[in-house]
Chains A and B, each alone.
Chain A
């Protein structure tokens, strides 16, 4: 019976861990609906006060609520206006603002990402052009050589693109798993599909129970050994 008393707390640990993970997974994240694919590896443009740069066309498969760019102010606080335009008519569909400080040397890549919340959502499946205008300071914009030949960045050297990510709805991590698994099932062996990741997720959940089982079995073996010894 001492074995039971011994490993029963393990059940509590496992339950606590699962509950903790579910709670953590319920916190909301903003889903990327489109990433242009240009890595934020180097400075490709400097936006001076009132300087602007546009990039497009890009088509998001679902509504866009936020726009994320990468870079840092080169001194003081930079203030950028982000306009989402119709790629064909250049009519502004939605706008947002963002502020950026200078980046610390050696800062993590996430430290240079900046997100502008649009005042209204832009519907999906529409050809868009994203324009950035600096208001008061200078902003160093990050990007790379052009990844997508159909996308063009205006006002600067040809053959370059600034890193651009369009964001959609806020959702919890758990409710986004379906999207994640659909995306993850591409570029895999032919037998892998979303179902594989769902099966693995369920499998991972069961490992907490299996862990308790392993401890129970080991504890029983040790107790038997002690009994045999005494």
Chain B
């Protein structure tokens, strides 16, 4: 997969820091699209944005984690703004309850906000669905929050969203570097990979919402790149340190990232074993130091959460045994046969002897991974035209088959090592999501997984597309890459139009 052609010449001095022109142009494109998403989506009309904003505000205003006993979930500042725009009633029903379009209502809100007794920003902080998340993303979001601290709740909300554009840019750079490390420094495959990572509409939508997934996606994409570096460069000290720091950051962003631990360990072992025997012993010391960088912050967070009497890891019904209210019946645990039945019915039509396990109208793999992954906006209520989902399913299958076909020709050990690292990353994420989903369903909490939960591995989708572009004969390669970018931009435009129509027309 890597370096079958010579690498691009090294650039010296300050020029080394400047991105290649093609990447710079792509970043401008991603920034424009990101800004559009950040501003077009109405206030709090993104999954769980109400809870994530409340968490951010509590941390910024009183430097405390949400879950303070006796406090409401939202501050007066947020609940007044929420009620004024009609965000709460409209969450799942933009057709019947779009945001308030009345200018005089907005003027009345502003008058209250600027009056002698504006609503309090610091009287929230009660428990909310995001309370069990670690705080790293919210600390990042607080920078945006504080930029417009003296403005309205809407000013603060949109400042956070706009700061999310930086995260989608980071994901794009991560995609570029990942392709460079894996496929060699060939600009067209790198461009295709970075474009997929940065321009998939669902990714732009989530990354520019107030949502920890925004940071999660960027960190995972970078971790995939650094993991590949660890394997390719035989576990060099700084790479190992960076990989461990990224993994710790990802875990401190969202508990989903515990799924990164196994592939990261695999990358470290492979990289270490690829060293000459004489170097393996001395290499253990920096690796142990890097391990401390991974373990200590995570343990620190778990200890802090424990001392505060809160969940350090998002509770899965069977492990917690009770809901937030503490009143639910004892949770049911995993039954392997039942889990396999669930898994079968997620991906394949139900066989007559299997107990029904479907939580969606159509096959879950289509409804959740394809439809929601390709783009279902708002609180998963704004859909794209149906033909686009069919096209996305066909394109996804095509990319998957082509990538597998190309990968099956690989025989070099280093390539197989990279493949194992990427495959384990995908598998670990899928296992974690499916177990959580299965537990949620059997405990009566309904479907847990959403298409966006696959976005942390968007870099791998980009890599598959980059691989295909790289395998395209050179004369047609620019066309293939151009087609990828044009299709992504067209789908972005259609997605934004769907959002505009759902909320404003």
Chain A contacts to B: CB under 8 angstroms: 2-3, 5-7, 9-10, 13-14, 16-17, 20-21, 24-25, 29, 31-32, 35-41, 70, 106, 108-110, 113, 142, 144, 147, 163-165, 173, 176-177, 179-181, 183-184, 186-190, 192, 196-197, 200-201, 203-204, 206-208, 210-219, 221-222, 225-226, 228-229
Contacts and interface: CB of A to CB of B under 8 A. Distances in A.
A188 B494 contact: no
A40 B100 contact: no
Interface in B1-37: 5-6, 8-9, 20-23, 25-26, 28-29, 32-33, 35-36
Contacts of B29: 207, 210-211, 214
B478 A216 contact: yes
A203 to B, nearest CB: 4
A227 to B, nearest CB: 11
B25 to A, nearest CB: 4
A225 B5 contact: yes
Interface in B398-445: none
Contacts of B103: 186
A184 B381 CA distance: 18
A221 B92 contact: no
Contacts, number: 247
B505 A180 contact: yes
Contact of A183 (B93, B101, B151): B101
A208 B485 CA distance: 8
Q: Which of B95, B381, B487, B500 has the most CB of A within 10 A?
A: B95
Interface residues of B, number: 81
18 contacts: A9-B478, A10-B479, A17-B487, A39-B96, A113-B95, A142-B96, A163-B96, A163-B97, A180-B501, A184-B39, A186-B99, A187-B109, A189-B154, A204-B496, A211-B482, A214-B23, A215-B481, A217-B21
Contacts of B86: 37, 147
B490 interface: yes
Given A186-B106, A217-B22, A218-B188, 6 more contacts: A35-B98, A173-B500, A180-B501, A214-B22, A214-B191, A225-B185
Contacts of A183: 99, 101, 504
Contacts of A225: 5-6, 8-9, 185-187
B296 interface: no
A140 B402 CA distance: 50
B497 A217 contact: no
Contacts of A221: 8, 20-22, 187
A51 to B, nearest CB: 21
A206 B264 CA distance: 40
A207 to B, nearest CB: 5
A1 B98 CA distance: 53
B282 interface: no
B478 A207 contact: no
Interface in B75-98: 81, 84-86, 89-93, 95-98
Contacts of A39: 89-93, 96-97
Contact of B39 (A70, A179, A200, A211): A200
B3 to A, nearest CB: 12
A187 B505 contact: no
Nearest to B360: A106
Interface in B113-170: 148, 151-152, 154-155, 158-159
Nearest to B502: A110
A89 B43 CA distance: 39
B100 A37 contact: yes
Contacts of B188: 215, 218-219, 222
Interface of B: 5-6, 8-9, 20-23, 25-26, 28-29, 32-33, 35-36, 39-40, 42-43, 81, 84-86, 89-93, 95-101, 103, 106, 109, 148, 151-152, 154-155, 158-159, 185-188, 190-191, 195, 360-361, 381, 383, 474-479, 481-483, 485-487, 489-490, 492-494, 496-497, 500-501, 503-505
Contacts of A9: 478-479, 482
B481 A184 contact: no
B96 A210 contact: no
A16 B483 CA distance: 11
Contacts of A109: 92-93, 95-96, 381
A13 to B, nearest CB: 4
Contacts of A29: 501, 505
B305 to A, nearest CB: 34
Contacts of B32: 200, 203-204, 206-207
Nearest to A177: B500
B154 A188 contact: yes
B93 A41 contact: yes
B450 to A, nearest CB: 16
Contacts of A13: 479, 482-483, 486
Contacts of B92: 39, 41, 109
Contact of B95 (A14, A110, A180, A206): A110
Contact of A144 (B89, B100, B101, B155): B89
A226 B84 CA distance: 60
Contacts of B504: 179-181, 183-184
A201 B9 CA distance: 38
Contact of A113 (B85, B96, B483): B96
Q: Which of A9, A204, A214 has the most CB of B within 10 A?
A: A214
Contacts of A204: 32-33, 36, 489, 492-493, 496
A189 B149 CA distance: 11
A101 to B, nearest CB: 17
A186 B96 contact: no
Q: Which of B22, B25, B35, B482 has the most CB of A within 10 A?
A: B482
B104 to A, nearest CB: 10
A17 B43 contact: no
Q: Which of B39, B151, B158, B187 has the most CB of A within 10 A?
A: B187
Contacts of B475: 2, 5-6
Nearest to A212: B482
